[in-house]
Structure 1
Amino acid sequence: MTDEPRIVVDGTALTCTEVVRAAEQRASIVVDAAVWERVGQAHEKAQTASAARPVYGRTTGVGANRDAVVAAGDASTHDLRLLLSHAAGVGDLLDARTTRAAMLIRLNQLTAAGSGIHPRFPEALEQALRTGALPAVHITGTIGTGDLTALAEIALTLIGRRPWVHGHVPPVVAGPGDALAFMSSSAVTLARAALACEELSRLLDASHVVAALSYCALGGSAEAFAEEVHARRPHPGAVRTAAEMRRILWHEGELGPGRRIQDPFGLRAFPQVQGAALDGAAQLRRVLEIEINAAAENPLIDVDSGAVFHHGQFSTAYPALALDHVRAAVHHVAELSAARLGDLVEPDLTGLPAFLADGPVGSSGVMILEYVAHDALGRLRHSAGPVTLGTSVISRGLEDHASFSPHAAGSALAAAAAYRTLLACELVAATRALRIAGTPPRGHVLAAAFAHVTARLPDIRPDHQLGDEIRIAEELLDDLAAS
């Protein structure tokens, strides 16, 4: 018997959190037995429809070859040719975590029973996930109209035409219609987006605690977090942020003006800026959880009626735009973190030595943290640029729009990495300031978080290398997210 949590796959209820758990091998995968009948029915309906009418990718070519009719005796080799010709991925290989996430998402989408694929393909995916078998999947070659190159590589691995990176499952046969049915998805992009969404959400949660520590070091005013203030302009994220700050700062004193009549923006405008990022992350999660549970294959096979629908559900404008929005919002939050770091090294705001130095005259203290933080902020700024302003015209002019959602997802992962470093720099400085001042937080929530941080971060006052402390602080952020 095992206590490992299970993720039940049925094409309707997979969450971003479950995708990450499976990707990190913290949960087992079980397909709901009831879905196999509908997957089989969809396959039969697809076969029947293909015998009666043209069906894109099954009885025809793809892209600008959509009017090219596949000869009846050439159906099986047509599917193999489709997979071979589309498996042109280049560049870096996906890491194991992302590959597992993509396989789970594609499995879940296939169990929604709209592709018409033969059940042996989702069965093989389930077996691969259960046994830890991993295909080699390249990251380059997709523009937001389906991850064709990456999914062709996975399909070719499943049929024994490409080697496994780790483990293996017995090869399956690609029958008529299976190639496009498997490739018609953005599962890899959605996997990367789900991982980014979870990472950004964790960091945003942790930033409440980090900002609260800076608040204590700077003698901030709690008036900016007052319930009465946010009830008059009730954006959900801002209301949530203010409530979270009140919870974390409980027992730190009555609502009052603090040391100053008005704090710098890093404290005073934190709920408004942080709130927009929380709302952006929540919207991204809603979009992704629709996408990862979608039967969005083109064409769609309707199990109940047997009808075939050709459509544009391959477009990933929704996730691309949501990813663009959340990256821009996180950049604003990161700017406030950098601003608070600047406040923490300013004697007029802390009453402590410049740069929190503790040593002979001219000691640098944590001066270099601002350089590291602004390097990270610069990288985040580059990652925050919108990708959805571009498009492409391909396949002899017939496919004339692309969302570039894969690039939006990649940029979100890069933004999260940069934000983690920046937030860690603020955490190191806030912890040092509180230690030098000898004023640890009093509230039980923040006091417990501070104790956890100080148990890991060394208290070295003379000038020294800070790289190890930044790395420790980066790791601590995951713990603070659960505070």
Structure 2
Amino acid sequence: MVILTGETLTLDEVRRVVDDQETVDLSEETERTVMKSRETVETMVQKRKTMYGINTGFGKFSDVIIDETDLETLQLNLIHSHACGVGEPFSEKVSRAMLLLRANALLRGYSGVRPVLIRQMLALLNAGIHPVVPQQGSLGASGDLAPLAHLALPLLGEGDVVYQEKRMSASEALVDVSLEPITLKAKEGLALINGTQAMTAVGVITCLEMEKLLYQSELIASMTLEGLYGIIDAFDHDVHRLRGHQEQIDVAAYIRETLEDSQFTTRQGEKRVQDAYSLRCIPQVLGASWQTLNYVKEKLETEMNAVTDNPLIFSETDKAVSGGNFHGEPIAFAMDFLKLGIAEMANISERRVERLVNPQLNDLPPFLSPKPGLESGAMIMQYTAASLVSENKTLAHPASVDSIPSSANQEDHVSMGTIAARHALQMLGNARHVIAIELICAMQAVEYRGTDKMAVRTKQFHDSARKIVPMISEDRVFAEDIKNMANWLK
């Protein structure tokens, strides 16, 4: 069980909750902190102190004072009016991560919500009830307003959810698990939607999946080196220690260790003096991709435990302060940066695919075809890989540089962080398909040479992958092979 404190959540704990369905609870001490914050809000309301979003309107309406009898209606109206996302829904993984991250942020005790609201979120999470949240519609400042409004609806018994692999109304799912809908009190609607949890959740899922794919990319690149009689000298430790980047040093070490017992690798001068960059510079490029990932992981772990609400309630000094912690710029920049690492991981993989299939660049059968001319073999797989990396180049354009004013220019600079995160996850899917194609081609190449001479580690991986995609003995519909291999890698 993962115990939330609002300050200590890790990427591994998110993975356990999202992937392994581990249950979640909160500590008693944390609950007391939340309750104290709530009491501060209620005291301020009783004193009729003017506080943004508690007894005023929102955005441009911040100067409109709301009557005390309408404070609950104000919060409900906020959720209803802001739930206007469009497009395909986020995956259940992302929805699950959003619930976890929003609950964790509220637990810091600066949002002024009741503990019962947080417990309702955790109850949905533990029951496997996942709100249906449309992907599009967030500007990434004033928080992820539209996505988080959709996330909030099921707490009230409204909107749709996915429960036990079926899409249904939230009210139906709540009945099934004996949960009563929540009625929002002052401040609570705003507290639910003023945050960066959509972009952060997508970012976390992207990072967890990218980490796995980077390891796989190193192993698949090692197999490609075998298929092309790669020169192992380029991975000598002395070369990489002189550059000094630890990630580059680590990738080179991994490839050296993986291929230490391979009979396919060559020394410089045996077959050629140097390899092409897509082989020789694997540590430099993948090491740089690891650097983007490590940077983004650090920013995400900070954001996962951050207070991104507005206004913030400081119980110690009995004050409510309007600020801008909801602005997603740190995560927008981070996800735009991560996109570069994803793009280049795929770019260099596609170039290795070209070296595997191009008869002018190797001594293998043209396009790895069993009957060149009559059968095209892997020719069009390279086309697909090239198309995907080209699409990634378009998606890699930074979303964070494109701000559009909103709310009658009250909210005149926004981050577009959720777009950056969504594009990063989309790019990762593209990259996975490219790397799946490289694996299919690398396996074919080493089989032409004889798998008995492979390194133990690459041979084991080859044998496992061959259970997913059979050898190319004749032309067939390769789309199924690419899909199955990508799904296996995921």
Return the TM-score normalized by structure 2: 0.91
Q: Secondary structure at the match of 1:213?
A: helix
Task: Give the Cα–Cα distance (whole angstroms) in 1 for the partners of residues 352 and 223 of structure 2.
Answer: 11
Q: Does the alignment pair 1:384 with 2:396?
A: yes
1:148 to 134, 145, 162: 145
Shift of 1:267: 0.8
For 1:425, give the aligned amino acid: I
In structure 1, the partner of 2:387 is 375
Closer, same or farther: CA 106–441 of 1 in aligned 2, 3 Å:
farther
- Mapping for residues 61-460 of structure 1, pairs under 5 Å: 61-145=57-141, 146-162=143-159, 164-166=161-163, 167-168=173-174, 169-252=179-262, 256-257=267-268, 259-347=271-359, 349-359=361-371, 362-460=374-472
Distance across 1 between alignment mates of 2:346 and 2:361: 20
Distance (Å, rounded) in 1 between the aligned partners of 2:472 and 2:409: 63
CA distance in structure 2 between the aligned counterparts of 1:355 and 1:9, rounded to whole angstroms: 53
What letter matches 2:352 in structure 1? R
Task: Give the 3 Å change call, closer, same or farther, for CA 464–86 of structure 1 in structure 2.
Answer: closer
Q: In 2 relative to 1, CA 82–456 (structure 1 residues): closer, same or farther, beyond 3 Å? A: closer
Equivalent-residue separation in structure 2 for 1:335 and 1:198 (angstroms)? 20
Cα distance in 2 between the residues matched to 1:160 and 1:357: 58
Change (3 A) 1:109 1:264: same
Aligned to 1:8, what secondary structure does the other structure show?
A: strand
Report how far residue 440 of structure 1 moved.
Answer: 4.3
Question: In the superposition, relative to structure 1, how do residues 10 and 342 fare at CA in structure 2: closer, same or farther (>3 Å)?
Answer: same
- What is the CA distance between 1:360 and its match in structure 2? 6.1
Q: Distance in 1 between matches of 2:379 and 2:79?
A: 55
Structure 1 partner of 2:167: none
CA distance in 1, matches of 2:159, 2:414: 29
Contact 1:220 1:260 in 2 (8 A): no
**Counterpart amino acid of 1:268?**
R
* Contact 1:138–1:150 (Cα < 8 Å) also in 2: yes
Q: Which amino acid aligns with 2:251?
A: T
**1:344, distance to aligned residue in structure 2 (A):** 0.8
Matched residue type, 1:180? L
Partners in 2 of 1:91 and 1:471 — Cα distance?
Answer: 23
Q: Which moved more, 1:234-243 or 1:214-223?
A: 234-243
Pair 1:29-2:18 in alignment: no
What amino acid sits opposite 1:315 in the alignment?
A: H
Name 1:3's counterpart in structure 2. Answer: none
- Aligned-residue offset at 1:318: 1.1
Cα distance, 1:304–1:456 mapped onto 2, change above 3 Å: same
Distance 1:361 1:320, change over 3 A: closer
Give deviations 1:245-284, integer Å, cap 9, x for gaps. 1222222369831632110111111111111111111111
> For 2:28, what is the secondary structure of its paired residue?
coil
Mapped to 1, the partners of 2:122 and 2:238 lie a distance apart of: 52
Contact 1:344 1:429 in 2 (8 A): yes
Distance in 1 between residues matched to 2:225 and 2:162, nearest whole Å = 49
Is this contact kept in 2: 1:115–1:182, CA < 8 A?
no
Amino acid in structure 2 at the alignment position of 1:198:
L
Aligned equivalents of 1:73, 1:336: Cα separation in 2: 62
Distance 1:361 1:53, change over 3 A: closer
In 1: Cα distance, 2:350 partner to 2:124 partner: 44
Check 1:361–1:232 CA distance in 2 against 1; reply closer, same or farther (3 A cut): same
Paired with 1:250 and 1:13, the residues of 2 have a C-alpha distance of 41
Maintained 8 Å contact 1:19/1:101: yes
1:441–1:450 CA contact under 8 A, matched in 2: no
8 Å Cα contact 1:341/1:370 also seen in 2: yes
Evaluate the alpha carbon distance shift between residue 71 and residue 264 of structure 1 in structure 2; reply closer, same or farther with a 3 A threshold.
same
* Range with bigger deviation, 265-274 or 234-243: 234-243
**1:165: Cα distance to partner?**
4.6
Give the CA deviation at 1:444. Answer: 2.7
Corresponding residue of 1:471: 483
Contact 2:262/2:456 (<8 A) preserved = no
Between the aligned partners of 2:465 and 2:160, the Cα distance in structure 1 is 45
Moved more, 154-163 or 34-43: 154-163
- State, as a whole percentage, how many aligned pairs show the same letter: 29
Q: TM-score, normalised by structure 1?
A: 0.92
SS in 2 for 1:134: strand
Q: Deviations over 1:38-94 (max 9, x none)?
A: 111111122234436422111222211222222233322222222222222233233
Q: Is the 8 A contact 1:440 1:450 kept in 2?
A: no
